[in-house]
Structure 1
Amino acid sequence: MGGTVRLRYEAIDGQVRPGFNESDDLFSVRTTVFGEYDAGPVRFGAELYDSRAYRADRGTPLGTGEVNTLELVQAYLLLEGGLGPAGAASVQAGRFTLNLGSRRLIAADDYRNTTNGYTGVKLDVAPSKRLGATLFAVLPQARLPDDLPSLLDNEPGLDRESFDTRLWGGFLRLGGLLPDLLIEPYYVGFDERDSAGRPTRDRKLHNVAVRIVRDPAAGRFDVEAEGIRQFGHVRASLAPAANRLDVSASFVHLEAGYSFGGAWKPRLSLEYDRASGDGPGAKFGRFDTLYGMRRADFAPAGLYAATGRTNISSPGLRLEATAGKATDGFLAYRALWAAERRDAFSNSGVRDPSGASGSFAGHQIDARVRTWIVPKLLRGEINAVWLGKGRLLRDAPNAPASGDTIYVAISTQAHF
């Protein structure tokens, strides 16, 4: 048995996203309780999430990423066993969370106040330390309620999964083919259709990808390269009679770093991310990150949530350091462009359909410090972001008439 209670206060000035308060603040509380019973080769687990938000109003960007009250996100059976002389295999069935590969398509987001849950089955097979595979077929849980009045009141409601939304695929892990490199080819499929009271764009997406990784270690260079090709089809809007568009989208992440020795273990890295946007052609080109994480690559969710894995071209520089076992932090800079100038920039919602405002969105500086106030019991965290708005975020027709963006979040998390 175990659990956590996280309290977080966040504030923003110069909101990037149109239609919301220029200045805002939010207080959120997240409580989790996890239990697992070990019955030999079989384990039974369950986890309750209670995510609430306060101080919000109708101008706050509040959604199911912030509020999901009293939800049994996990309730599973896990069967584990050996495979050959040195291998292992497991099958998990029921409700559970997923973190697969780089977590850029499927993740249990931890910075966000709520998480992603799935219902289905997952198979893990590892014949050796160098070879492994994961296969899964799940129904993503739709967090409910999702209307603004209910979210403002933190009303409870049972999340729902159905065959109207499906997610499936497989990851293969190949180690040892090249020195110190992990090669991970994978496929992720996604399919949705309208259900009662929930119109969709009928997304049917296939993602074919490969990732190559050399993990960081003191005194050496590390690399990560990942490419995703996304295709399928999607409706042009939520209207039932909307045209069906073929999808042709892509994502690339490139990263090279060096880890120094010493007590602080600093690591300096160069990174580049490009996720396609939707241009004027007949095909739909905006990359869909599905259930992927945001914080590790781009910036915080919550009140900020302006940058993410869609219609973005962004080189960056990152410095990470660790002060003993208790404290770690990073400082990151990114230059921001829209990959397609006529589409909405990333997750901001700011768009110039004519393209006359250009593609440069600005400069982003992002920092985080975490420390164990009481080891293994109480952890504090500070996140801060400054976004110096570029021409696109200043001059686009729907760009908010505000200055540069400042976002700060302070949190404490207790473990029991």
Structure 2
Amino acid sequence: MRGAVTVACLLFAATPAFGQAGPGKPDEGFDLSGSIRLRYETIDGQARTGFNSSDELINLRTILTAQYRHGPVRIAAELYDSRAYLADRGTPVTTGEVNAAELVQAYVAVDAPNAFGAGTALSLQGGRFLLNIGSRRLVAADDYRNTTNSYTGLRADIAARGGVRGTFIYVLPQVRLPDDLTSLLDNRLKVDRESFDQILWGGTISRAKTIGPALAELSFYHLGERDAPGRPSRDRSLNTVGARIVRDPKAGAFDYEAEAIYQLGHIRSGLASAAAMLDVSASFVHAEIGYTFAQGWKPHVSIEFDRASGDGPGRTYGRFDTLFGMRRADLAPAGLYNAVGRANILTPGIRLEAVPNKAIDWFVTYRPMWLADRTDSFSTTGVRDVTGRSGSFAGHQVDARVRYWLIQDRLRAEIDGVWLAKGRFLRDAPNAPKSGDTKYLSTNLTVSF
């Protein structure tokens, strides 16, 4: 009951009056826009270890974006205010939920069409900014999560003839602060920081219509990390190489996507400076094939497969690190659920989705899930049996989402739900929560202005 009352109060406070200006961005001059998203989420039968079996949480995210454009020059700033309510010390609240009043973007960009001749373009960007690159499985700003990933550094985008495009970065990922539980529960303010103790550089290059209508893409990213004062790390030095081919959905036609990523380098076995350094050999594969029906509301059905390696016994570290990638589009929601990510998982799936009209879209997926390595913790649950005796079947997951524009481009409602029927591993592993099947629900209302 307390959750329903708080939701009602925050909805009243968060909903602004609708002005005359539209949400579109002008080609020249100054523009101010933003959004407020209110989310109420509840979970029963928590699958992650160490947290409340049943819980509820309110997330409030306010975004304000200012941009000035004159000719080829763009100057932009964006503020995220991400807060959470109703949590206690058993609630899985992290910097994924709370990051109050943070300037996540403050950059200058210059666009140069025809920089290398007709049909080419160059864009250079410097400062603090968000990133969504390629498939977004390695570098992304996940919109479902209450907070976002921000970076400080340089970005270059190049468009060449023949459908060739490239994005290249050298950035310092932001460390979201504060990150202690007491401060997070109180929604305290502290400015995020960046330093050369963690760097990310590399890029993605793609070419349209490489194999028939399909786009082909290659990527390489290096993540370097070392201890900072008061912040020990596992001293990750990861080189991540990927290749992808994708044909976008089209009514009355088949579509497909395949991506393979290999990761190598080294990582410490623990946070202690004396911990052994391990060689890394990890991998990830995603594949899917789908078909869009041309009739009626044009439903799209697809068969999917994901495998991210886990860490087995021995001197080589095998758990795949998704770096700063998204999870919602492929696997499951974050928030209170946050049990399924791109690590130690093997899962086929089937997805049905549709956009019946411009006001509504929905999807539903079904996934049976196994551990890629039965001695490592399952995905992002923290549940582990180092002996491997609890088996490898984690369970069945059904995930669904519906979004509906109550006022087109202004007010949008969203409902997300997940049912995880736990398999033998999530029931029998030594530290598995004895909480029954997982049931997760979130309701969202977003105002854009």
User: Which residue of the partner structure matches residue 43 of structure 1?
Assistant: 74
Q: CA RMSD in A?
A: 0.6
| Alpha-carbon distance in structure 2 between the residues aligned to 1:176 and 1:99 | 22
Q: Does 1:267 align with 2:323?
A: no
- Do the aligned residues in 2 keep the contact of 1:260 with 1:266 (CA within 8 Å)? yes
User: Which residue of the partner structure matches residue 356 of structure 1?
Assistant: 389
Secondary structure of residue in 2 paired with 1:335: strand
- Do the aligned residues in 2 keep the contact of 1:286 with 1:311 (CA within 8 Å)? yes
Within-5 A mapping of 1:165-176: 165-176=198-209
| Alpha-carbon distance in structure 2 between the residues aligned to 1:136 and 1:28 | 31
Following TM superposition, by how much is the alpha carbon of 1:383 offset from its aligned partner in structure 2, in angstroms? 0.1
User: Which residue of the partner structure matches residue 213 of structure 1?
Assistant: 246
Which one of the candidate residues 76, 81, 87 is aligned to 2:112?
A: 81
Q: Does 1:5 align with 2:42?
A: no
Following TM superposition, by how much is the alpha carbon of 1:265 offset from its aligned partner in structure 2, in angstroms? 1.4
Q: Does 1:408 align with 2:408?
A: no
- Do the aligned residues in 1 keep the contact of 2:377 with 2:383 (CA within 8 Å)? yes
Task: Give the letter aligned to residue 109 of structure 1.
Answer: D
User: Which residue of the partner structure matches residue 56 of structure 1?
Assistant: 87
| Alpha-carbon distance in structure 2 between the residues aligned to 1:202 and 1:123 | 28
User: Which residue of the partner structure matches residue 65 of structure 2?
Assistant: 34
Task: Give the letter aligned to residue 221 of structure 1.
Answer: F
Deviations 1:350-389 (A, max 9, x none): 0000000000000000000001001111000000000000
Task: Give the letter aligned to residue 91 of structure 2.
Answer: T
Which one of the candidate residues 104, 129, 138 is aligned to 1:96?
A: 129
- Do the aligned residues in 2 keep the contact of 1:87 with 1:129 (CA within 8 Å)? no
User: Which residue of the partner structure matches residue 263 of structure 2?
Assistant: 230
Task: Give the letter aligned to residue 28 of structure 1.
Answer: N
Q: How many residues align?
A: 416
User: Which residue of the partner structure matches residue 296 of structure 1?
Assistant: 329
- Do the aligned residues in 1 keep the contact of 2:162 with 2:207 (CA within 8 Å)? no
| Alpha-carbon distance in structure 2 between the residues aligned to 1:139 and 1:403 | 41
Following TM superposition, by how much is the alpha carbon of 1:18 offset from its aligned partner in structure 2, in angstroms? 1.0
Secondary structure of residue in 2 paired with 1:171: strand
| Alpha-carbon distance in structure 1 between the residues aligned to 2:40 and 2:295 | 34
Q: Does 1:367 align with 2:371?
A: no
Q: Does 1:143 align with 2:176?
A: yes
Secondary structure of residue in 1 paired with 2:81: strand
Following TM superposition, by how much is the alpha carbon of 1:164 offset from its aligned partner in structure 2, in angstroms? 0.3
Identity of aligned residues (%): 60
- Do the aligned residues in 2 keep the contact of 1:381 with 1:411 (CA within 8 Å)? yes
Deviations 1:163-198 (A, max 9, x none): 000001011111232210100011011000000111
Task: Give the letter aligned to residue 197 of structure 2.
Answer: D
User: Which residue of the partner structure matches residue 121 of structure 1?
Assistant: 154
- Do the aligned residues in 2 keep the contact of 1:169 with 1:188 (CA within 8 Å)? yes
| Alpha-carbon distance in structure 1 between the residues aligned to 2:95 and 2:311 | 26
- Do the aligned residues in 2 keep the contact of 1:366 with 1:384 (CA within 8 Å)? yes
User: Which residue of the partner structure matches residue 195 of structure 1?
Assistant: 228
| Alpha-carbon distance in structure 1 between the residues aligned to 2:442 and 2:260 | 32
| Alpha-carbon distance in structure 2 between the residues aligned to 1:288 and 1:411 | 29
Following TM superposition, by how much is the alpha carbon of 1:129 offset from its aligned partner in structure 2, in angstroms? 5.8
Secondary structure of residue in 2 paired with 1:177: strand
- Do the aligned residues in 2 keep the contact of 1:329 with 1:369 (CA within 8 Å)? yes
Task: Give the letter aligned to residue 54 of structure 1.
Answer: Y
Q: Does 1:342 align with 2:355?
A: no
Q: Does 1:179 align with 2:208?
A: no
| Alpha-carbon distance in structure 2 between the residues aligned to 1:387 and 1:176 | 39
